[in-house]
């Protein structure tokens, strides 16, 4: 399974195979900024969907790299995966509810 290299500045996404153990830094060929490495589950919004990209940036900034997030029901962690939000208001609730599952860098 591969990953996605994502440039939030250019709103571009590229498929990327992963070399396990590699500490590679990915640079956008278009703008030169660092790219984020997201899981293969990430489905990028259309390039002209600025609100969709705002949600993606908000989630990444808060440690959600489209990794599996387990649902919490009645204050209990389940073994069911939660869907990622597509609206910013929902993303804010998502980040607050699942902050313990975020990836801290």
* Residue predicted with more confidence, 18 or 13: 13
- Percent of the chain residues topping a pLDDT of 70: 92
pLDDT tens, residue by residue, 26-35? 889 899 999 9
The pLDDT assigned to 3 comes to 86
Range(s) of the domain holding residue 91: 3-101
Whole-structure pTM over 0.85, yes or no?
A: yes
Q: Write the secondary structure of 12-32 as one string of H (helix), E (strand) and C (coil).
A: EEEEECCCCCCCCCCECCCCC
Tell me the average pLDDT across 7-12: 94
Whole-number mean pLDDT of the chain? 90
Look-up of token digits 């705002």: 54
Tally the domains of the chain.
1
The pLDDT assigned to 24 comes to 72
């Amino acid at each position: 399974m591969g990953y996605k290299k994502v440039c939030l500045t250019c709103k571009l996404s590229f498929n990327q195979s992963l070399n396990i153990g590699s500490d590679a830094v990915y640079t956008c060929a278009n703008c030169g900024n660092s790219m984020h490495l997201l899981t293969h589950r990430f489905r990028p919004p259309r390039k002209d969907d600025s609100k969709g990209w705002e949600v993606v940036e908000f989630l990444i900034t808060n440690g959600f790299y489209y990794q599996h997030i387990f649902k919490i029901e009645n204050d209990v962690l389940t073994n069911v995966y939660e869907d990622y939000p597509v609206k910013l208001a929902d993303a804010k609730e998502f980040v607050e509810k699942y902050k313990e599952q975020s990836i801290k860098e």
